[in-house]
Structure 1
Amino acid sequence: MKLYYDFHIHTALSPCGDDSMTPNNIVNMALINELDAIAITDHNTAENLEAVMKVARGKDIIVIPGIEIETKEEIHVIGLFPNLQSVYNVQNIIYSKLPYIKNKPNVVGNQYVLNENDDIMKELDRFLLISTLLSLNEVIKLIKDNNGIAVPAHIDRPSYSILSNLGFIPDDLNTSILEISRFSNLDVYKKQYKDYQIIQSSDAHELGYIGITKNYLEVKEKNIESIFNIFN
């Protein structure tokens, strides 16, 4: 069966995410755009995941726990996980490896932690959109050690990507999945990187971009296990 996905969505917790990116707005926009599965991938944090998953309960959509980690080489890597505990384990390590810089909401945006009713529970004061002290290989290992799938993000972008910062895909990269942004042609990258699985997501920071890429995976069943089986 075809499973329409968007595996790169930010909430209002990411400083670059619009304040309208609340749990209810995200889930409802995904449903309006007939998505079957989404992943929440805030920058270096997973504190809004549980709220989004609670909103999605009883609705015909899968929410995959995720996080977008910035390596010390300033490469963004998405981690997708089978459950909340796995991503929380990763978040705890990321927080310990994230230099403390106080956020400036009037400059870079708010960082809201929300509940399932879209109420603001708190505002993180540590700036999230910075590099961790972990290398690319260390980040991928961290994700995999916690039962996750590691995906170098938006490799076609001129910044924060593996190609823009390294200039190539390392032979010893311990993952077989790459992501391109909504701006590129999926078929072109599939032909260029035949040894990898290429996915394309929205990297939505605003509601209007959720599901814009209209891509799907062929899965046996509509569940998280079937999705992970494709990538493993």
Structure 2
Amino acid sequence: MYKKGDFHVHSTESDGELKPGEIVILAKKRHLDIIALTDHNTVCGNKQAIKVGKIHGIKVIPGIELSTRYKGNKIHILGYFYRDIYEGEEFNTTLENINKGQFKKCQMKNNGNISFRNEGGKLTTNAGIEFLHYYGAKVVLAHPTLIKYDVFDKLIELEFDGIEAKYYRNRENDTERFIKVAREKGIIYTAGSDFHSLRKVDIKHGTLGQIYLEEDEIKNFLNILV
């Protein structure tokens, strides 16, 4: 069973400074045995990370961090995949159109009943959740500590599968508060360093493995991915 996992990590495929494969090697050095690659608005690094992970005995959960808007607030949501549907043409074409703000083209795709609503050219949080769910992902609210209390209280009523309760920039008692919210709502919680680089001056993000889930917590997370 996996004993230590960091589920919020960025590579050179978005704004990180290490290649996906390099992150996996660093994870091994940091005694992590499971990670998730969650680059901003792209899944392009997952294939490399998974391949290198198999070589080095590190489990890699393919993921994404999607940028959305909720009533004028910037909200990031984390999607975790347990099948390779994210490699498909339809998913990636739709994601490309979302990133370009071409929502009418998204509506022309065979995407079920998803309504690609937008706020000022940005995907709404609810539409982002529906999009990721449609393609088989489980969706977690990223770094809730960065969200205003009143906004969070309304936001958490959306169809999230989990919440990133353990996070590098949590304030005092934040972790306990978010874990309590997760338990009350019957959803899981995750942990993420939001790793971007090895620079010591990067005060906005943690370093790989600094924040993590332990064995029983990882088991709960993986149970919802099957």
Task: Give the unaligned 5+ runs of structure 2.
Answer: 102-119, 200-206
The structure whose residues are more often helix, as a share, is: 2
Aligned match of 2:21? 24
Aligned length: 191
Give a deviation string over 1:21-50, Cα, whole Å, max 9, x none: 113320111111111211111111111111
AA aligned to 2:222 is F
Runs of 4+, deviation exceeding 4 Å:
none
RCO higher in structure (CA 8 A, sep ≥6): 1
Give a deviation string over 1:174-201, Cα, whole Å, max 9, x none: 1241114212253343235532432221
Distance 1:182 1:171 in 2: 20
Q: How does 1:55-204 map to 2 (within 5 A)?
A: 55-73=52-70, 74-86=74-86, 88=88, 89-99=90-100, 133-157=122-146, 161=147, 163=148, 166-170=151-155, 172-180=157-165, 181-184=167-170, 185-195=174-184, 196-204=187-195
Aligned residue for 1:183, secondary structure, equals coil
Identical residues among aligned pairs (%) = 26
* TM-score normalized with structure 2 length: 0.72
* TM-score normalized with structure 1 length: 0.71
CA-based RMSD of the aligned residues comes to 2.8
Aligned match of 1:34? 31
Distance 2:217 2:143 in 1: 23
AA aligned to 1:175 is F
Q: Aligned pair in 2 of structure 1 residues 179, 8: CA closer, same or farther (>3 Å)? A: same
Task: Give the unaligned 5+ runs of structure 1.
Answer: 101-130
